[in-house]
Amino acid sequence: MTMGDRLAGKVAIVTGAGSGIGRTAAIRFAAEGAKVGCADRDRDGLDTTVQEILDSDGQAVACEVDVTDEKLVEQMVTETSDAFGAVTVLYSNAGIAGSGNAKDLTLAEWEKVIAVNLTSVWLCSRACLPGMIEAGGGSIINQASVGGLVGVPGIASYAAAKAGVIGLTKQMARRVRAIEVSGNAICPGTVPTPLVEKTYMARVDLPLRGRGLIRHRRTSRTIAISLSDRACGDDRRHPQIFALYLASDESAWTTGVVVPIDGGMTASRSGLKPFVRG
């Protein structure tokens, strides 16, 4: 891991740091000089991330947390602050997949996805804001999705949660700019991570009906096969590159922005093609 200084002096929390985008972001932040609170509910994955940072002479602490639990989120911020000082960067990346159309979801399925993908973003922001204000500023980076921007079949709860993240981010950006805290959202397309691969494989077997949904299932199979052959470290497809910019002082005048990192997915009539064709 090559060390830089773009985030020197920053204290960051990255949620979902135990794997995928969160892991690569935490490692990248540390490589650029940030002291990182790595947060995840997967202790083994979390320890792997932290150890990789420490082995490369970076600074990190592990925070085992369920980001839907208010008290545990506050504890996560306290543990990071006690170790390194006030948190000045928050990357709310933790999330889960959700499959099913509106008429097919149970209330429990709906509430779980909303809690993890939307409510947790608010909880983490609320917990970090007092320290950012005291420190004189900060950056909140929220992980949304192209699924919150365009209609995608079969992901009602996920789409609602990610659209909510976008709305929350814009609202916060208007309110917190006066206190030198920026708020921005990143909307990844299909990023090759183990979670995404598993999700698309699961959708292949969904009991879908109708011509459009059958087409969706076939597309899911194609993407799943494509993703299985790709390394999760492929930076071209990772929103953590843009998150690094948003975490740095380079983005001081960037706030309220919603940025798709999707290989042109939202610019295409058939947005899945860039990912299937690589």
User: What are the CA-CA distances from residue 192 to residues 24, 224, 231, 246 (Å)?
Assistant: 12, 9, 7, 22
What distance in Å separates the CA atoms of residue 75 and residue 68, rounded to the nearest whole number?
Answer: 12
Terminal Cα distance for the chain, rounded = 26
Residue from 152, 154, 158, 168 nearest 266 by CA: 152
Q: Which of 91, 158, 200, 245 is catalytic?
A: 158
What distance in Å separates the CA atoms of residue 220 and residue 140, rounded to the nearest whole number?
Answer: 32
- Chain-centroid distance of CA 86 in Å reads 21
Residue from 264, 229, 255, 251 nearest 146 by CA: 264
Residue from 197, 179, 186 nearest 97 by CA: 197
- 80 close to 13: Cβ distance less than 8 angstroms: yes
Can you name the residues that pair with 185 across neighbouring β-strands? 142, 258
- Reported in sequence order, the residue ranges of 107-158 that DSSP labels E, i.e. its strands, are 138-143
Q: What is the DSSP string of 191-203?
A: ---HHHHHHHHHH
To the query of whether residue 158 is one of the catalytic residues in this protein, the response is yes
Residue 224's CB is within 10 A of a number of other CB atoms, namely 18
Residue 32 has what DSSP assignment? T
Q: Which residues are catalytic?
A: 158
